A and B are shown apart, each in its own frame.
Chain A
Amino acid sequence: MSHLRVDLRQRAEELVALYPRPRSAMLPLLHLAQEQDGYVSPEGIAEVAELTGTTTADVRGTAAFYDMFHLEPVGTYVVGVCTNIACLLSGGLELLEHASSTLGCAVGSTSDDGLFTLEETECLADCNFAPCVQVNHRFVRTRSAETFDTLVAELRDGRRQHDIPTHGTLLRVRRAGGLHAPKREVTAQREEAKAAREKRAEETT
């Protein structure tokens, strides 16, 4: 019995098939599992281990390395406020403090209603809109305390679901197409091209 939903399980198997070795699908699969459960759950870890041919210790150890994977439940909206150098110079620390009081939770924790988790992030590469804020990894570009509060109100009312999906980095991205040529056809192409290239090289010298 698969822990992943039927559609996600199918996508997971597609992802594994993209790589020469199944373990390479580790990060995309962890994203999928996290998007279904809201965090990387023990069941999700077990399923990723099965899909990648690794152990749960391997999966957990890998997931723990990466900032985007949450090994315990987080809020519906993960709010990241950057305080790195460009944002620091534009009031990032002050905005983070403000966010903490608006959301009613300390940095690194989740609000009582389970709606928000607040994180202090490293540079999010959107420095012309510093200080930079992301919600579920969508750039929201609320640079002042006032616009931040407006955003939070909209999120509470569920008015931003169109552009800020809950837990979604990959869910809205689906691969279509692929290299359907049989492997030996591609190999033959390569051999032929290589022979032709060598012949050309010989002719020029």
Chain B
Amino acid sequence: MATLVAPRIVTARTGYDDSYTLARFLATGGYEGLRKALTMFPEDVALEVDEASLLGRGGAGFPAGRKWSMLRKSPVSYLVVNGDESEPATFKDHLLLERDPNGIVEGIIISAYALQVNQVFFFVRGEFALGLERVQHAVNDAYEHGALGSKIFGSDFSLDIVVHPGAGAYICGDETALLEALEGKRGFPRIKPPFFPAVSGLYGEPTVVNNVETMANIPWIVLNGGEAFAALGAGRSKGTRLFALAGRVKNPGVYEVEMVKNTFRDLIYDPALGGGLLDGHTIKAFIPGGVSAPWFGPDLLDTPLGQDEVGEKGSMLGSGSVVVFDDTTCVVRAAWRITKFFARESCGQCTPCREGSGWIERVLYRMEHGGGRVEDLALMLDLCDNIAPGGGWPPQQTTICPLGPSIPSSVTGAISMFRSEFIRHVEGGGCPFD
């Protein structure tokens, strides 16, 4: 059974029909965190977040407090908030943007105060038309309410938030590509080093880039203290986290659960969460953290939902998206579709990613449609090895950004776990599930 005693931190108000309105926000403790933060010194606010050990919720899982502290000595110019959620089957930020935009805005204002930044750019995925509307309304309401603009709530702190729409490019979820898009260019990830926008970010100035869900945690941390947050979860994974459960389960959806205290089995099977697989079906495999993550078999269902716990088993918690495959799922088709996604979204700067993704996609398509050869398996593994040599996890990088090295995850995973199914595609001259 799942352990569901933790407070709901980021989804506390998402259940209300009018959760996105200022009225509901204020009636459910809205801006109390900000009011408290403004009575504290900015560096003390940052300290609370550091004590909370909040890991960034975007996918890389870098400690938010550490990201901020890199900038403590030099002033930060910009805070950029990443709302470009596009990792396949990840839909947690979408929920927050549409259901609690005010809560995100409050978290942003507090973070900007802690960092002493006066300009925030809030990048929202372009396909979220309703999300963009709601976020802009929340920002407008915040101005009206005195929570944004000059001298916020009578303090000596002023802040502006500009809502910036994306235009449909997965790669802009990479923070350096996102900054390029913000500068009005093609979303090409920047060559590293420098590794962090903290050194050279927007317009070459020191910039902090944080994820939407990370921001949504901040008001609670300020109100209840970093210690209370760090008391939830275990190891390096503190607090609660949003998991987007999709695929062949009864109740797909976004669930906020305490980290580490629950396992993938809890998330997928607990009646209060995923509710198990669709009637009459059994689990075949699952993706633990977005399509960039290597797949897990049913033997790993009891892995706790924690960053290091999943990392030790050779995959990642990534964006918090869990996709469940059942006995009707063709793994060749699944791997093909995921690879097609990468081929389509590759920005094209680096050869291994640009050429490798399309090549593997074509081989998988051919195999799925009856033209497969036994030697295709070795060919695909060799291509994967050229994209991320060695095949270990985390992958070796041959490209500017992590998109390329994410391509092999599903391909090598599918081949090593389900080799016989590939062979059946070859020998049977097509997909046995058709």
Binding site for B on A (CB under 8 A): 18-21, 23-28, 30-31, 52, 54, 61-62, 65-69, 83-86, 88-89, 121-128, 130, 134, 136-139, 168-170, 172-181, 185-186, 189-190, 192-194, 197, 200-201
Contact = CB atoms under 8 A, between A and B. Distances in A.
Contacts of A193: 42, 116, 156-157
A125 B156 contact: no
A122 B128 CA distance: 13
Nearest to A67: B168
A18 B86 CA distance: 26
Contacts of B203: 20-21
B126 A127 contact: no
B239 interface: no
19 contacts: A18-B162, A21-B183, A21-B184, A62-B185, A69-B168, A84-B337, A122-B345, A123-B88, A125-B125, A130-B246, A137-B128, A173-B163, A175-B139, A177-B140, A179-B119, A179-B159, A190-B75, A192-B156, A193-B42
Given A89-B248, A139-B130, A122 B150 contact: no
A136 B129 contact: yes
Interface residues of B, number: 77
Task: Tell me what chain B mostly uses at the interface: helix, strand, loop, or mixed.
Answer: mixed
B168 A86 contact: no
A140 to B, nearest CB: 11
A123 B86 contact: yes
Given A85-B247, A175-B136, 20 more contacts: A21-B203, A27-B164, A27-B184, A66-B168, A85-B287, A85-B323, A86-B252, A123-B87, A130-B252, A138-B130, A139-B130, A169-B132, A169-B165, A174-B136, A176-B144, A178-B143, A178-B160, A186-B118, A189-B157, A193-B157
Contacts, number: 204
B149 A180 contact: yes
Given A122-B345, A125-B85, A179 B158 contact: yes
Interface in B81-102: 85-91, 93-94
Nearest to A164: B129
Contact of B93 (A86, A125, A174): A125
Most interface-central of A66, A130, A138, A200 (chain B CB within 10 A): A66
Nearest to A23: B184
A12 B287 CA distance: 43
B364 interface: no
Contact of A127 (B93, B132, B140, B246): B246
B30 interface: no
A10 to B, nearest CB: 17
Given A66-B168, A128-B254, A200-B43, A181 B150 contact: yes
B291 interface: yes
Most interface-central of A24, A25, A27, A125 (chain B CB within 10 A): A125
B140 A134 contact: no
Contact of B91 (A61, A128, A185, A200): A128
B66 to A, nearest CB: 18
A39 to B, nearest CB: 13
A125 B149 contact: no
Contacts of A125: 85-86, 90-91, 93-94, 125, 127-128
B345 A30 contact: no
Nearest to A179: B160
A88 B328 CA distance: 12
Given A18-B162, A27-B164, A177-B149, A65 B254 contact: no
A73 to B, nearest CB: 18
Interface in B137-173: 137, 139-140, 142-144, 148-151, 156-160, 162-170
Nearest to A83: B337
Contact of A169 (B129, B149, B253, B325): B129
A65 B323 contact: no
B167 A66 contact: yes
A122 B323 contact: no
B373 to A, nearest CB: 24
A139 to B, nearest CB: 7
B41 interface: yes
B94 to A, nearest CB: 4
A24 B182 contact: yes
A205 to B, nearest CB: 13
Given A24-B183, A122-B345, A67 B169 contact: yes
Q: State the 10 A-B residue pairs at the shortest beta-carbon distance, nearest first.
A: A177-B143, A26-B184, A67-B168, A179-B160, A66-B167, A23-B184, A68-B168, A86-B246, A127-B246, A123-B88
B167 A67 contact: yes
B57 to A, nearest CB: 15
B186 interface: yes
Interface in B34-90: 41-43, 75, 85-90
A167 to B, nearest CB: 11
Nearest to B186: A65
B133 interface: yes
Contacts of B345: 122
B244 A179 contact: no
B165 A28 contact: yes
A190 B118 contact: yes
B419 interface: no
B168 A89 contact: no
B253 A128 contact: yes
